[in-house]
């Protein structure tokens, strides 16, 4: 009964999303206030119904109702409750329903936090989002119905894949989807603006916090995925350039270009075409990612069970949505004028270069990911493109962008002078050069990659400090606290996010250059050595878990005679699936991880054990978190300003107010360029 | 006499206890773990090559990381061939002969992968050129605009002059 | 052409490729050994381990090599078809017993029937590697000169047998 209710709720959600997608858009076109006014209520109604459907599905998993096929195939009565809840999205149908729920959630948020948007714009934005929701719910109902029943119901379920029975599974997919899906808001704003013909600073200002928020979530989602793979897969790697990983990285790269481009559009009125195109591309890559993961066109460890019907549907949806929006772009973009002009050396040109480099990097990743498919489609045989390719190509492409990242915040808007810039950056150059060599002196090993990595990280970090100092110096006030307080949150957000990148680079460089491992055979009492640590196997015992049997080893990690940690890696065999799995034990530290995996028994008493020393590996994810935190600071800044300065509702074409001009670099330009507001 | 015997006995007992303690400690101490393979340096080379190869029975893993039977067999083959003195290229060629280019994670540089390897850098070059052209054009347009605005201002000033004079 | 049409144009090309891609199987690995000489081998027979059979011995005839194992579930699907086919006597069928225990293999053949002229024991799987075997079952058609002409990945289906293997065997002059 409850599942029929869920199914019905989904159908009602479809009706709501259809209404939300069609009526307000027509209303905006014809000026029909009543129809435009339907946007908010239908958006909220859609959310309620999708939520009901999702809760009904969760009910099946939580109550172990195996008459629902999904629960029968992906859950089990011995599965702990929190994993039964996350098992809802551990499969294709459930995760697509989660997609729809999160999409409805973002839609709800936009419908609530949009007081200052004029009715036409809101109607179009919610309308576009409604059409996308409609597509996804149609897809769910027709090809991926989560409420399929099984009669007679099996006695128990097949259990969730052991790899997914893990805390990482609890947060990684929802975070990732929040990011992936969240870019629909930027997309909707861009399409709405293209339809109305009004791409201006106001549009960018509305769009920015939503876009940055989605970017934060995507950053966290990807970082969590990498962190999870690191400890779950057991071989110590954290990124494999797998098609599904790339599918999440592509929108991140283009999304990063987007948030920077939005800054230019908001502050200077420039880059309008770029920003609109990037907004369309970012969400398009999210959709493309969804297609890749679920259609079976590429082989991946993450891929869901595939089905040609699903692939065809998603591809059709992709063609309509992306093709339609790119066609709209092609039609409207030439009518959008150029924004304010800028010199070849200026903050704008740096950001333009940044856009271009990020897009080229994204294009390279996309090329590598889809190349095997293209070659096969052309009948030219089968090819594999893996980490060796991506590592070789990606680093040279990103290095210039990372270098420019140091200069951009220091350069003035519109016009910066190269000699002056070089002079200001002299300390940063020096620190970077020294850091490049420092590794050799301090760590005893040097390769060009290590040198480059540390130089870039030092460059970025010192330019962050430089930017902060420069900005504080420019603010004339005797009280230093006031100087700090006078800077907007978005400034600190930028500094923190850029610092996060530097931290990330340090982590990657050092762990790649200096990690070590020992592969040994141990009996209780034996001691093995890795990178200055002595690891002694104390005992191995049999353990029974809630749904598995395991052999658990207890190891003592000792350094300089002192006990540093006791770790307990497992080798588990899950009762239902009978698949063996190794649960790695990690002694985490800020400066290193000691990572120990239990292998197979090699004799009656001896076991194979793999010990890894991973210096600075946690800096990788700390760096990502700093990036996300920086983005969060930037989002909060906008909100704060909106609450303090209550703006009356005004039409989109009115020029932005004077107080919006931040006197960056001492130059405030108040000129109207052709077709846009130049500031 | 009896005290001397007692002293000797106590000393002997202490020595025996000390010896027993030492033996027990040594036994509890265990030994240095043996490396899992007989030749760890060889293993490092095996893994380096294995990381270039795709596991064909897995969805998307290297032969180094995979637990599949075929992966274990192929790692063994790599080990044997390295011990025979074959080079990395010879071993990779061996794999490609049997499984095709698909088994290499580093696509070989040949006609059909030209676009793959060169594409990104060509794209970068094109983008750089386009960007430079665009920024120059922007500059010229802006200059032209400034010129025309300057002319408009002068014209207005002249007209104002003229009207104030008349 | 307007510059702003470029993204749309690129996307349409992409969709084209993706559409074709839906019909392909990214995990199927075609054999690079087609039209190349079959690898040399010399293996003991399953039922008479003291005797050996080599590739050289099979020259001068068209023959089929079927890779199978007692632990392989999919092999049971194609096995009845192979038994029927061998009864037709069109072409000799040789089995490559891959990474299996001879006792298990012999039991399996007793239970499910033996279509093979002889079966060879590849306990270590080395000959399998030479043939580019990456899964079981796989089937090869080899001509009189010892050149591999066809490889079937996965179980032999009636359609494959009817439309590809039998015509090929006839063409090769079995």
The confidence score (pLDDT) of residue A670 equals: 36
Map residue A79 onto helix, strand or coil. Answer: coil
* Closest in C7, C14, C24 to A376, CB measured: C24
Contacts of A402 (CB under 8 A, 6+ apart): A456, A459, A460, A501, A505
Residue B127, in any domain of the structure: yes
* Closest in A242, A396, A536 to B30, CB measured: A536
List A195's β-bridge partners, or say none. none
| Site from C24, C132, C135, C148 to mutate, B interface, most B CB atoms within 10 angstroms | C132
Read off the CATH number of the domain in which B83 is found: 1.10.8.640
Number of domains in chain B: 2
If asked whether residues B54 and B114 sit together in one domain, one would say no
Residues in chain C with CB shorter than 8 Å from the CB of A376 are 21, 24, 26
Of all residues in chain A, the one with the smallest CA distance to B49 is A388
Q: Report percent pLDDT > 70 for chain C.
A: 99
- How far apart CA A372 and CA A370 sit, in angstroms, is 6
- How far apart CA A643 and CA A662 sit, in angstroms, is 18
The confidence score (pLDDT) of residue A334 equals: 85
Residue B21, in any domain of the structure: no
Task: Check CB contact under 8 Å for B112 and A380.
Answer: yes
The confidence score (pLDDT) of residue A657 equals: 41
If asked whether residues B149 and B125 sit together in one domain, one would say yes
Across the beta sheet with A592-601, the strand order is A585-588, A592-601, A607-615, A516-522, B34-35
Q: Which residue has the tokens 């498919």?
A: A373
pLDDT, tens digit, 9 for 90 and up, residues B120-165: 999 999 999 988 888 788 778 777 877 888 888 888 888 888 887 7
Q: Tell whether the torsion through CA atoms of C36, C37, C43 and C47 is positive or negative.
A: positive
Residues in chain C with CB shorter than 8 Å from the CB of B96 are 32
Task: Check CB contact under 8 Å for A338 and B141.
Answer: yes
Is residue C21 within 8 A of residue A373, CB to CB? The reply is: yes
State how beta strands A533-544 and A592-601 pair: unpaired
Q: Residue B35 CB: number of other CB atoms within 10 A?
A: 15
Question: Per-residue pLDDT for B26 more than 70?
Answer: no
Residue B6, in any domain of the structure: no
Residue B18, in any domain of the structure: no
The confidence score (pLDDT) of residue A653 equals: 42
DSSP per position, A441-491: HHHS---HHHHHHHHHHHHHHHHHHHHHHHHHHHS--S-HHHHHHHS-HHH
Task: Check CB contact under 8 Å for B34 and A521.
Answer: yes
| d(CA A231, nearest CA chain B) in Å | 14
If asked whether residues B57 and B94 sit together in one domain, one would say yes
If asked whether residues B136 and B113 sit together in one domain, one would say yes
Residues in chain C with CB shorter than 8 Å from the CB of A284 are 11
Three-state SS across A13-25?
HHHHHHHHHHHHH
| d(CA A292, nearest CA chain C) in Å | 9
| d(CA C30, nearest CA chain B) in Å | 8
pLDDT, tens digit, 9 for 90 and up, residues B34-86: 777 778 888 889 999 999 999 998 888 999 988 888 999 999 999 999 999 99
Measuring CA to CA, how many Å separate A586 from each of A236, A320, A534, A567? 10, 47, 15, 7
Residue B118, in any domain of the structure: yes
Measuring CA to CA, how many Å separate A373 from each of A297, A343, A367, A523? 7, 42, 10, 48
If asked whether residues B102 and B124 sit together in one domain, one would say no
Residues in chain C with CB shorter than 8 Å from the CB of B100 are 29-32, 132
If asked whether residues B96 and B50 sit together in one domain, one would say yes
* Domain around B55: 36-108
Task: Check CB contact under 8 Å for B73 and C125.
Answer: yes
pLDDT-based confidence at B2, cuts 50/70/90?
Answer: low
Average pLDDT of the residues in B8-17? 70
If asked whether residues B97 and B116 sit together in one domain, one would say no
For the CA atoms of A364, A366, A372, A378, what is the dihedral angle to 10 degrees?
A: -100
- How far apart CA B77 and CA B83 sit, in angstroms, is 10
> What count of CB pairs under 8 Å joins A to B?
146
- How far apart CA A122 and CA B38 sit, in angstroms, is 69
If asked whether residues B44 and B62 sit together in one domain, one would say yes
Residue B22, in any domain of the structure: no
Map residue B136 onto helix, strand or coil. Answer: helix
- Which among A526, A518, A539 has a CA at the least distance from the CA of A613? A518
Residue B7, in any domain of the structure: no
Task: Check CB contact under 8 Å for A521 and B29.
Answer: no
- How far apart CA C157 and CA A128 sit, in angstroms, is 48
If asked whether residues B100 and B114 sit together in one domain, one would say no
Residues in chain B with CB shorter than 8 Å from the CB of A299 are 59-60
Residue B78, in any domain of the structure: yes
If asked whether residues B134 and B79 sit together in one domain, one would say no
| Site from B99, B116, B133 to mutate, C interface, most C CB atoms within 10 angstroms | B99
| d(CA B7, nearest CA chain A) in Å | 38
List C10's β-bridge partners, or say none. none
* Angle separating helix axes A618-644 and A489-514, nearest 10 degrees: 170
Mean pLDDT per 10-residue interval, chain A, length 679 residues: 93 96 94 92 96 96 93 91 92 94 97 89 96 96 92 88 84 93 96 91 91 97 94 87 94 97 89 94 95 86 77 94 96 77 83 93 96 93 93 94 92 84 87 82 82 93 93 83 83 96 96 90 90 92 90 94 93 85 92 92 88 95 97 80 47 41 36 34
If asked whether residues B97 and B115 sit together in one domain, one would say no
Measuring CA to CA, how many Å separate A5 from each of A94, A95, A138, A235? 16, 19, 17, 45
If asked whether residues B88 and B61 sit together in one domain, one would say yes
Q: Which of B78, B108, B138 is the last residue of a domain?
A: B108
């Amino acid at each position: 009964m409850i599942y029929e209710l869920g199914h019905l709720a989904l159908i009602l959600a479809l009706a709501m999303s259809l209404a939300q997608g069609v009526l307000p858009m027509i209303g905006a076109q014809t000026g029909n206030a009543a129809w435009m006014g339907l946007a908010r209520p239908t958006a909220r109604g859609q959310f309620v119904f999708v939520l009901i459907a999702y809760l009904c599905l969760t009910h099946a998993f939580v109550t172990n109702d195996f008459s629902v096929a999904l629960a029968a195939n992906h859950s089990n009565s011995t599965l702990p409750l929190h994993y039964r809840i996350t098992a809802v999205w551990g499969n294709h149908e459930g995760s697509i329903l989660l997609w729809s729920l999160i999409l409805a959630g973002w839609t709800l948020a936009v419908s609530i936090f949009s007081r200052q948007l004029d009715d036409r714009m809101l109607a179009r934005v919610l309308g576009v989002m409604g059409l996308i929701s409609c597509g996804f719910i149609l897809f769910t109902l027709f090809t991926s119905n989560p409420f399929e029943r099984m009669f007679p119901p099996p006695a128990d379920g097949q259990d969730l894949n052991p790899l997914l029975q893990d805390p990482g599974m609890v947060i990684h997919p929802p975070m990732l989807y929040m990011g992936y899906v969240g870019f629909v808001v930027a997309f909707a704003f861009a399409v709405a603006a293209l339809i109305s013909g009004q791409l201006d600073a106001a549009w960018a200002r509305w769009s920015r916090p939503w876009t940055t928020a989605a970017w934060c979530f995507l950053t966290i989602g990807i970082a969590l995925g990498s962190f999870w793979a690191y400890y779950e897969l057991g071989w110590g790697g954290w990124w494999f350039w797998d098609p599904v990983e790339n599918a999440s990285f592509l929108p991140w790269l283009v999304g990063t270009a987007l948030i920077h481009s939005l800054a230019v559009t908001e502050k200077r009125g420039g880059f309008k075409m770029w920003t609109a195109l990037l907004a369309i591309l970012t969400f398009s890559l999210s959709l493309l990612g969804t297609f890749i993961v679920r259609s079976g066109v590429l082989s991946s460890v993450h891929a869901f069970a595939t089905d040609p019907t699903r692939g065809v549907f998603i591809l059709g949806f992709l063609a309509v949505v992306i093709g339609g929006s790119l066609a709209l772009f092609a039609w409207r973009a030439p009518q959008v004028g150029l924004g304010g002009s800028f010199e070849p050396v200026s903050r704008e040109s740096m950001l333009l270069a940044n856009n271009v480099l990020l897009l080229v990097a994204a294009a390279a990743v996309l090329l590598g990911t889809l190349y095997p498919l293209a070659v096969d489609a052309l009948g030219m045989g089968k090819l594999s493109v893996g980490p060796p390719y991506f590592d070789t190509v990606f680093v040279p492409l990103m290095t210039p962008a990372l270098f420019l990242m140091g200069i951009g915040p220091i350069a003035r808007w519109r016009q910066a002078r190269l000699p002056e810039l070089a002079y200001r950056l002299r300390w940063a150059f020096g620190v970077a050069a020294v850091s490049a060599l420092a590794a050799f002196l301090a760590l005893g090993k040097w390769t060009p990659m290590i040198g480059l990595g540390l130089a870039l990280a030092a460059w970025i970090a010192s330019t962050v400090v430089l930017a902060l100092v420069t900005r504080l110096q420019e603010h004339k006030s005797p009280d230093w606290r006031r100087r700090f307080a006078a800077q907007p949150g978005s400034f600190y957000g930028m500094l923190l996010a850029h610092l996060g990148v530097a931290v990330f680079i340090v982590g990657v460089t050092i762990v790649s250059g200096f990690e070590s491992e020992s592969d040994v055979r141990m009996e209780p009492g034996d001691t093995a050595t890795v990178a200055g640590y002595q690891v002694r196997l104390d005992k191995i015992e049999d353990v029974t878990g809630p749904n598995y049997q395991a052999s658990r080893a207890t190891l003592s990690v000792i350094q300089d005679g002192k006990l540093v940690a006791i770790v307990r890696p497992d080798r588990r065999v899950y009762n239902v699936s009978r698949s063996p799995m190794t649960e790695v034990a990690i002694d985490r530290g800020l400066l290193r991880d000691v990572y120990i995996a239990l292998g197979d028994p090699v004799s009656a008493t001896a076991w194979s054990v793999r010990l890894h020393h991973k210096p600075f590996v946690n800096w990788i994810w700390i760096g990502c978190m700093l990036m996300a935190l920086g983005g969060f600071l930037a989002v909060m800044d906008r909100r704060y300003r909106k609450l303090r300065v209550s703006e009356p509702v005004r039409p989109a074409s009115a020029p932005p107010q004077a107080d919006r001009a931040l006197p960056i670099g001492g130059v405030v330009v108040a000129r109207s360029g052709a077709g846009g507001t130049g500031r | 006499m009896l005290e001397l015997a007692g002293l000797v006995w106590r000393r002997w007992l202490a020595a025996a206890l000390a010896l027993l303690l030492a033996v027990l400690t040594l036994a509890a101490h265990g030994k240095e773990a043996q490396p899992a393979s007989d030749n760890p340096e060889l293993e490092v080379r095996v893994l380096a090559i294995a990381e270039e190869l795709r596991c064909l029975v897995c969805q998307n893993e290297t032969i180094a990381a995979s637990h599949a039977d075929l992966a274990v067999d192929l790692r063994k083959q790599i080990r044997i061939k390295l011990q025979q003195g074959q080079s990395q290229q010879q071993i990779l060629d061996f794999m490609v002969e049997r499984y095709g280019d698909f088994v290499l994670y580093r696509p070989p540089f040949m006609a059909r992968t030209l676009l793959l390897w060169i594409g990104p850098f060509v794209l970068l070059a094109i983008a750089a050129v386009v960007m430079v052209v665009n920024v120059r054009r922007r500059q010229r347009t802006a200059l032209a605009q400034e010129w025309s605005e300057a002319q408009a201002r002068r014209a207005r000033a002249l007209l104002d002059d003229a009207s104030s004079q008349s | 052409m307007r510059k702003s049409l470029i993204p749309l144009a690129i996307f349409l090309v992409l969709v084209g490729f993706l559409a074709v891609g839906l019909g392909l199987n990214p995990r199927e690995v075609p054999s690079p050994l087609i039209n190349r000489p079959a690898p040399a081998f010399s293996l003991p027979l399953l039922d008479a381990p003291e005797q050996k059979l080599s590739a050289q011995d099979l020259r001068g005839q068209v023959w089929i090599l079927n890779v199978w194992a007692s632990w392989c579930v999919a092999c049971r699907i194609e096995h009845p078809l192979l038994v029927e086919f061998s009864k037709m006597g069109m072409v000799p069928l040789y089995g490559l017993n891959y990474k299996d225990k001879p006792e298990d293999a012999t039991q399996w053949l007793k239970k499910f029937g033996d279509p093979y002229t002889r079966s060879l024991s590849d306990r270590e799987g080395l000959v399998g590697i030479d043939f580019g075997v990456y899964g079981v079952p796989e089937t090869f058609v080899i001509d009189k000169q010892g050149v591999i002409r066809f490889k079937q990945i996965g179980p032999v289906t009636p359609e494959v047998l009817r439309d590809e293997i039998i015509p090929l065997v006839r063409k090769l002059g079995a």
